[in-house]
Amino acid sequence: MKYTQEMISEIVKKQREFFRSGITLNVDRRIVQLKRLRKAVIDNKEMLSIALQEDLAKSPFEAYLCDIGPVIAEIDEMIHNLKRWARPEKHFSGLMCFPSTSTKVYKLPYGVSLIISPFNFPVLLTLGVLAAAISGGNTAVIKASSKSSSSTQALKKLITMTFEDEYVTLIDGGHDVADMCLAERFDKIFYTGSPAVAKHVLSAAAKNLTSVALELGGETGNWCIVRKDADLRDAARKIAFFKLCNAGQICININQIAVAEEVADRFLRELQKEFVRQIGTRPHHNPDYPKLITEAVYDKCERITSEYRDRVIFGGKGCRETRRYAPTIIYPVSENDELVQHELFCPILPVVPFKDEEAERIVELIAQREHPLSMYLFTSDKRWARRVMSTQQFGGGCINEVCLHMMVKGVPFNGTGHSGMGAYHGEWGFREFTHPQTVLTGSTHFNLPLREYPYSGKAGEFKMKLLKLFER
């Protein structure tokens, strides 16, 4: 379908009318809608898996592990806890508000939301965000990625047969359609993608002062630090798995590794062994290994490999026909090299050596650059690791592990600065799609003239004494 501005305006208008009817405010109805979404995902998991295979060559196992399964888990958490999350909070008004004693904080939906989802995890990062919007009581217009076209069509079919258009609708198309959506007035926008496009989204949202949540990869990528006291085999095993996952096309993936030069050779041998053990000697011909989303990304890998050919110590090959590119280790790379100044979003893995005694300098270097979405530390010095993790600014991370922080129930996920704003997953997603509304209930009896004029003379002096007493 070829969308026009008038068509999108009509979609938004109908959703606004539907929201204003008040039907989405009912929490029991929201739970029913979440159950419908869950059933639709389960009933159509094969269709979604086939679409992920066509777009990214994801195996059925990886499709379920990384895209489909987490959506079901996310919806389940919301179904089980939504009534508690949505319950108004009761607060004592305090002596300053006497004779009022009761204040409530209601969790109100924003209204009509716009969800702009990416190509790399099209099921998880579309339906996971949709579940949060539904839990908050919003309607949703989804602009899905044109790059993952098979997944977008599968999602459109799923959404169409599950929800009314005035409640949830999915729009396909390119950047021109996204701009048409951004030209409309929404009450909440949730964008997942790059910092560059996020600036455009924020600019459009600012015209209507629309609340925005951004889930971004980070301008200068996510760092992993491997100290000399790390369990090198364990670190290599986990890093290899993570870099192979979705061929590195993950916003929280490791962009570059800083490894203590005292153990660099040993670590790199272990890392190469793990790549071979997990994916074989010809990963670009392995059907389990995902492909790159477009030829442009494949060309980027070729260009980087060609530029750093003398420092490619593993990989550096691909198959253009299948768009698979082997995990490629480039070593050594300077900490100031252009290669580690940008998010790569591909299987290229630069490795930066440093003296272990200069670990604090590496941490400071990372802090001076744009805030990453994730950070990973491998070391046996837990005290150092915890201090670093509790004093640096980034979205989230792991000590002696990779990526699992985003799978923990009850905790927020997102970045800060150039890696995002806002947070979601579970209750945090519900909070992201609602605004807290404070309401105090007054009394018509026992009202004191404390706040009323006069403020001077003996009356003022007496009121001042009471005021100071009530402030305690």
What single letter denotes the amino acid at residue 382?
Answer: K
> Distance between the two ends of the chain, CA-based, in angstroms?
64
Q: Give bridge partners of residue 106 from the DSSP assignment.
A: 437
How far apart CA 314 and CA 243 sit, in angstroms, is 13
- pLDDT range class, residue 98, cuts 50, 70, 90: confident
What are the pLDDT digits (tens) for 194-240? 999 999 999 999 999 999 999 998 889 999 999 999 999 999 999 99
Contact 212, 364 (CB under 8 A): no
Q: Does domain 222-369+374-413 have CATH number 3.40.309.10?
A: yes
Residue with tokens 């995002």: 420
215, 270, 274, 370: which one is catalytic?
A: 215
Residue 468 banded pLDDT, cuts 50, 70, 90: confident
Q: Where are the domains of the chain?
A: 5-218+420-435, 222-369+374-413, 442-470
pLDDT of residue 447: 86
Predicted confidence band of residue 2 (pLDDT cuts 50, 70, 90): very high
* Domain 5-218+420-435 class, CATH top level: alpha beta
Q: Is 126 left (phi over 0), alpha (psi -120 to 50) or beta?
A: alpha
Q: Whole-prediction pTM value?
A: 0.96
Phi first, then psi: what are they for 114, rounded to 5°?
-115, 125
Q: Give tens-digit pLDDT for 141-196.
A: 999 999 999 999 999 999 999 999 999 999 999 999 999 999 999 999 999 999 99
Residue with the larger pLDDT of the pair 275 and 472: 275
pLDDT at 426: 97
Q: Which pLDDT score, from 0 to 100, does residue 26 have?
A: 98
Helix axes 149-162, 27-43, angle to 10 degrees: 130
Helices 264-279 and 232-244, packing angle to 10 deg:
50
Structure confidence at residue 463 as a pLDDT band (50, 70, 90): confident
Within 10 A of 249 (CB to CB), how many other CB atoms are there?
Answer: 22
Phi, psi dihedrals of residue 428, rounded to the nearest 5°:
-65, -30
Rounded distance between C-alpha atoms, residue 330 and residue 268, angstroms: 10
The pLDDT value given to residue 22: 98
Q: Is the pLDDT of residue 378 over 80?
A: yes
Contact 134, 472 (CB under 8 A): no
Q: Catalytic residue at 452?
A: no
Give the mean pLDDT of the chain. 96
Name the pLDDT band for 96 (thresholds 50, 70, 90): confident
Of 181, 224, 251, 346, the catalytic one is: 251
> Any idea what DSSP says for residue 245?
G
The pLDDT value recorded for residue 221 is 93
**215 catalytic per annotation:** yes
Amino acid 218: pLDDT: 85
Task: Identify the pLDDT of residue 298.
Answer: 98
User: Are the folds of 5-218+420-435 and 222-369+374-413 the same?
Assistant: no
pLDDT band for 95, please (50, 70, 90 cuts).
confident
Give CA–CA dist 81/107, Å, rounded: 14
Label residue 187 exposed, middle or buried (CB < 10 Å: 0-12, 13-18, 19+).
Answer: buried
pLDDT of 5 above 90: yes
How many helices (DSSP H) and strands (DSSP E) are in the chain? 16, 18
The average pLDDT across 30-36 equals 98
| Cα distances (Å, whole numbers) of residue 221 to 142, 211, 391, 420, 454 | 27, 26, 19, 13, 61
List, for residues 406-461, the tens digit of each pLDDT value. 999 999 999 999 999 999 999 999 999 999 999 999 999 988 888 889 999 998 99
Neighbours of 272 (CB within 10 A): 17
pLDDT tens track for 325-357: 999 999 999 999 999 999 999 999 999 999 999
**Considering the chain, what percentage of its residues have pLDDT values greater than 70?**
100
SS3 category, 362? helix
Q: What is the pLDDT of residue 151?
A: 98
pLDDT at 472 over 80: no
Token pair belonging to 388: 């670093």
Under the banding of pLDDT at 50, 70 and 90, the label for residue 137 is very high
For the segment 251-301, what is each residue's pLDDT rounded down to a tens digit?
Answer: 999 999 999 999 999 999 999 999 999 999 999 899 999 999 999 999 999
Q: How far apart are CA 217 and CA 345, in angstroms?
A: 9
| pLDDT of 469 | 85
Question: How many C-beta atoms lie closer than 10 Å to residue 387's C-beta?
Answer: 12
Q: Which of 374, 371, 375, 376 is nearest to 416 (CA)?
A: 371
